[in-house]
Amino acid sequence: MYSMVTVLIFAVINSLILGSGLLQYSLIYFDMGTYPIWWFGLSILVMLVLHDTFFYWSHRLMHSPKRFRTMHQLHHPSVYPTAFAAYSFHPTEALVEALIVSVIIFMVPVHPLAFFIFQSISTAYNVYGHSGREFFPRSMNAHWLSRWVNTSTAHSMHHARGRHNYGL
């Protein structure tokens, strides 16, 4: 139920931006020649880093006692989350999440295809994080970069304990 409400909130926010004339103030560009071709790939990476940074800090804030009880707790009912829980947010939390994704187009010059790829990666990784299935090899845990990658196992531990592993 809450996943459907979240998707509806995301759709309403995006529709308001597209239909209200705000899009003209964004940094979206349609001509691939506007920026060097390398910017296309880099813009996806920049959006992912901005979004993950915002998500980490807002998610951590949602775990403060008052916010957890009033908003974020409904995302944590199952100790072993499923992909269906990926977007199960309180409406206020969904609004916060929708706004950062929307604000990105006013901060970063981005081609619509790059934005679509960013959204696809974000959605797929969110579903993976709640899938309960591990796709990364176990040997990855020994690598120093692994502390910067939130795996499905790490996120399941977050749901079980409610601490640590706040990123996407």
Strands (E), 87-165: none
Tens digits of residue pLDDT in 53-108? 888 887 778 777 676 666 555 555 655 666 677 777 778 888 888 888 888 999 99
Q: Two tokens at 45?
A: 């990476």
Q: How confident is the model at residue 158 (pLDDT cuts 50, 70, 90)?
A: low
**CA pair distance 130, 108, nearest whole angstrom:** 28
**Which residue ranges make up each domain of the chain?**
2-161
Question: Considering the entire predicted model, what is its pTM?
Answer: 0.77
